[in-house]
Chains A and B, each alone.
Chain A
């Protein structure tokens, strides 16, 4: 067999990102099994991983992990390029942009919970804008804003607390 002329050597960075993205994908798939009353309201457990990556390795890695999670997660769930995938992508992009700004807040005062709540609100914001422009071109979608906002507050708090808790302990399984 002719030896391949292209050889991709994964760096330590690549391996770490792949490992963290895998953790996020597992959470996405596990979460899909939870029955939820409203489409669009999800705990977003994978964001716990994004928050930890952001705090430990910075924004670039967080973007990689989050976007790999969106693509691979929807591929596994059979949702790739379905409306739900684009909503998820829009939400992720919005929350990554917000995290990029919010991470510069003073760490002493604003912990993972703040970042998580900001990201959750940006996520519903991005989703709603896309939904309004493309899927439901009617102001009726905004009728659900209070429900989404409450969900973002609650799940943002919970995810942020879990991320903060996990970062309290010693680093393990990541090099």
Chain B
């Protein structure tokens, strides 16, 4: 079997390897470029049903949102965002951790604050899915 394989390999010339490597990297690059759908680029923060802040997802920052129970702290990092702290009793939105996909939503219902990621090709959001 090894002898059979080497019979075929000798047919490849140096440039052929180069062309094959180029072709494979073209496959990988096109997959990365075209199938990146769902990469978010915007953060939308709502308080009491109204948009409180809408900002890009490129640089790190902290947004403090006032609600009926107190301050909800939202932490934004390049490519992801989370609710860092919330005065609510059950902490569901904090325990959701980092949101990375477009359409992902974290809701702190007691304090009436929600955090959602938007942009990219969002086919569904994490509530309706």
The chain A residues found within 8 Å of chain B, CB to CB, are: 105-106, 108-114, 117-118, 121, 142-143, 145-146, 149-150, 152-153, 156-157, 160-161, 164-165, 168
Q: How many A-B residue contacts, CB cutoff 8 Å?
A: 64
Complex Cα distance, B88 from A162, in Å, reads: 68
Query: Given that A142-B34, A146-B30, A161-B11 are contacting pairs, would A152 and B23 also be in contact in the complex, using a CB cutoff of 8 Å?
Result: yes
Smallest beta-carbon distance A37→chain B, Å = 17
How many chain B residues touch A (Cβ–Cβ < 8 Å)? Answer: 17
Query: Given that A146-B34, A146-B35 are contacting pairs, would A156 and B23 also be in contact in the complex, using a CB cutoff of 8 Å?
Result: yes
Q: Are A153 and B27 in contact (CB under 8 A)?
A: yes
The chain B residues found within 8 Å of chain A, CB to CB, are: 8, 11-16, 19-20, 23-24, 26-27, 30-31, 34-35
Smallest beta-carbon distance B86→chain A, Å = 39
Q: Are B13 and A111 in contact (CB under 8 A)?
A: yes
Checking B14, B15, B27, B34 against A143 with a beta-carbon cut-off of 8 angstroms, the contacting residue is: B34
Residues of A within 8 A of B11 (CB): 111-113, 161, 164-165, 168
Q: Are B16 and A150 in contact (CB under 8 A)?
A: no
Known: A149-B26, A150-B27, A156-B23. 7 other contacts (CB 8 A): A111-B16, A113-B16, A121-B26, A143-B35, A153-B23, A161-B11, A168-B11
